[in-house]
Amino acid sequence: MGDIRALPFEQETFDLVFVRELLQFLSDPVQAVGELARVLRPGGYACVSDTDDQLNLSWPDRSPALDRLVAAVSEVQHARGGDRQCGRKLSTYLRRVGFEIASVVVLPDAQHRAVRRCDPERLLVLRQVRSARERVVQAGAMTEAAFDADLAVLEAEEEHEEFRLSARIIVLARKPPT
Note the pLDDT tens digit of each residue in 132-165.
999 999 999 999 999 999 999 999 999 999 999 9
| Overall number of domains in the chain | 1
Q: Is residue 132 part of a domain?
A: yes
For residue 60, the enclosing domain spans 14-174
Q: Is residue 1 part of a domain?
A: no
Long-range contacts of 153-161 (CB under 8 A, 24+ apart): 153/63, 153/65, 154/63, 154/65, 154/66, 154/69, 154/125, 154/126, 154/129, 155/126, 157/63, 157/115, 159/114, 159/115, 159/116, 159/117, 160/60, 160/114, 160/115, 161/112, 161/113, 161/114, 161/115
Q: Is residue 6 part of a domain?
A: no
Q: Is residue 8 part of a domain?
A: no
pLDDT, residue 2, reads 74
Within the chain, which residues score under 70 in pLDDT?
1
Q: Is residue 51 part of a domain?
A: yes
pLDDT, residue 1, reads 57
